[in-house]
Structure 1
Amino acid sequence: MANDEKKKGLKLYGAPWYVTIVACILILSAMFSGALGTDMPSTFALMLAIGIPLNEIGKRLPIWNKYIGGGILLAFIGTSVIGTYNLIPSTYVSSIDNFTSEINFLSFYIVVLITGSVLSLERKILMKSFAGYFPAILGGLVGAMLLAILGGLFFGITPGEAITHYTLPIMGGGNGGGAIPLSEVYAGITGEGSEVYYSFAIIILTVGNIFAIFAAALLNKLGDAFPKLTGDGKTIIRGAEENDLADEDYTPTLGDVASGLLIALGAYSVGLLFSNVLLPEIFGFPIHELAYMVIFVVILCALGVVPLNVRMGAKRLQSFFTKHLTLLIMVGVGVDLDLNELLAAVTLPNIVVALFIIVGAVLGSGAVGYLVGFYPIDTAVTAGLCMANRGGSGDLAVLGAANRMGLMAYAQLSSRLGGAIILVIASVLFSILL
Structure 2
Amino acid sequence: MSNLKIEQPELLSKTSFVSKFLNFKINIVPMKIYLFMLLCMFLTINRGIQPSGIIGGITLLALYGYVCAELGNRIPFLKYVGGTVIMATFLPSYLVYVHMIPQVAITSIGTFMKQSNFLYFFIACIVVGSICSMNRQVLIKAFLKMFVPLIAGTIVAMALGTVIGVLLGIGWYQTFFFIVIPILAGGVGEGALPLSMGYSSILAQEQNTIFASVLPCVMIGSLTAIIISGGLNILGEKHPEFTGHGNLLKTGDDEILKAATESAKTKKEIPFDIEKFLNVSFFAFSLYIGGMWIDSVIGLPAPIVMLIGVVVLKAVGLIPPYIEEGAHALFRFIVLLTPPLLLGVGVAMTPWKNLVDVFTNPLYLIVIVCTVASLIATAWFVGKAMNMNPVEASMVVACHSGQGSTGDVAILTAGKRLELMPFAQVSTRIGGVVNVTLAIALMRILVGN
Shift in Å at residue 339 of structure 1?
Answer: 0.8
Maintained 8 Å contact 2:45/2:104:
no
Task: Verify: 1:396 aligned to 2:409, yes or no.
Answer: yes
Moved more, 242-251 or 293-302: 242-251
Q: Call closer, same or farther: CA 1:24–1:226 in 2, change over 3 Å.
A: farther
Alignment partner of 2:274 out of 238, 254, 266:
254
Q: Which residue of 2 aligns with 1:263?
A: 283
Q: Which residue of 2 aligns with 1:244?
A: 263
Q: Aligned letter for 1:260?
A: V
Shift in Å at residue 102 of structure 1?
Answer: 2.4
Alignment partner of 2:387 out of 352, 373, 377:
373
Q: Aligned letter for 2:394?
A: A
CA distance in 2, matches of 1:173, 1:247: 35
Give deviations 1:365-411, integer Å, cap 9, x for gaps: 2222222222222222222x211122122222222222222111111
Give the greater-gyration-radius structure (CA). 2
Q: Call closer, same or farther: CA 1:243–1:30 in 2, change over 3 Å.
A: farther
Q: Which residue of 2 aligns with 1:58?
A: 72
Q: Aligned letter for 2:160?
A: L
CA distance in 2, matches of 1:354, 1:13: 32
CA distance in 2, matches of 1:411, 1:395: 6
Q: Aligned letter for 1:38?
A: S
Q: Is the partner of 1:223 in helix, strand or coil?
A: helix
Q: Which residue of 2 aligns with 1:137?
A: 150
Q: Which residue of 2 aligns with 1:274?
A: 294
CA distance in 2, matches of 1:263, 1:137: 30
Q: Which residue of 2 aligns with 1:36?
A: 50
Give deviations 1:293-325, integer Å, cap 9, x for gaps: 100000110111111111110221111111x21
Shift in Å at residue 59 of structure 1?
Answer: 1.9
Q: Is the partner of 2:282 in helix, strand or coil?
A: helix
Give deviations 1:42-64, integer Å, cap 9, x for gaps: 22112111122222222222232
Task: Verify: 1:103 aligned to 2:123, yes or no.
Answer: no
Task: Verify: 1:332 aligned to 2:344, yes or no.
Answer: yes
Correspondence 1:182-197 to 2 at 5 A: 182-187=195-200, 194=207, 197=210
Maintained 8 Å contact 1:170/1:204:
yes
Shift in Å at residue 15 of structure 1?
Answer: 5.3
Q: Call closer, same or farther: CA 1:407–1:101 in 2, change over 3 Å.
A: farther
Alignment partner of 1:148 out of 157, 161, 183:
161
Q: Is the partner of 2:89 in helix, strand or coil?
A: helix
CA distance in 2, matches of 1:82, 1:276: 38
CA distance in 2, matches of 1:327, 1:148: 32
Number of aligned residues: 423
Moved more, 6-15 or 254-263: 6-15
Q: Aligned letter for 2:276?
A: D
Q: Call closer, same or farther: CA 1:190–1:243 in 2, change over 3 Å.
A: farther
Shift in Å at residue 252 of structure 1?
Answer: 4.6
Q: Which residue of 2 aligns with 1:405?
A: 418
Q: Aligned letter for 1:256?
A: K
CA distance in 2, matches of 1:409, 1:417: 12
Maintained 8 Å contact 1:55/1:72:
yes
Q: Aligned letter for 1:342?
A: L
Q: Which residue of 1 aligns with 2:4?
A: none
Question: Which structure has more helix as a fraction of its residues?
Answer: 2
Maintained 8 Å contact 2:244/2:392:
yes
Q: Call closer, same or farther: CA 1:18–1:91 in 2, change over 3 Å.
A: closer
CA distance in 2, matches of 1:326, 1:49: 13
Shift in Å at residue 193 of structure 1?
Answer: 5.8
Shift in Å at residue 163 of structure 1?
Answer: 2.3
Q: Call closer, same or farther: CA 1:101–1:146 in 2, change over 3 Å.
A: same
Q: Is the partner of 2:400 in helix, strand or coil?
A: coil
Shift in Å at residue 132 of structure 1?
Answer: 1.2
What TM-score, normalized to structure 2?
Answer: 0.86
Give deviations 1:194-248, integer Å, cap 9, x for gaps: 5564342223223222222222222222222222222222x31125445636627
Q: Which residue of 1 aligns with 2:189?
A: 176
Unaligned runs of 5+ in 1: 281-286
Maintained 8 Å contact 2:52/2:112:
no
CA distance in 1, matches of 2:206, 2:395: 34
Percent identical: 26
Q: Is the partner of 1:345 in helix, strand or coil?
A: helix
CA distance in 1, matches of 2:50, 2:410: 27
Q: Aligned letter for 2:116?
A: I
Maintained 8 Å contact 2:27/2:70:
no
Q: Which residue of 2 aligns with 1:296?
A: 309
Shift in Å at residue 188 of structure 1?
Answer: 5.2
Unaligned runs of 5+ in 2: 1-8, 252-256
Q: Which residue of 2 aligns with 1:283?
A: none
Shift in Å at residue 143 of structure 1?
Answer: 2.2
CA distance in 1, matches of 2:204, 2:29: 60
Q: Aligned letter for 1:51?
A: G
Moved more, 34-43 or 414-423: 34-43
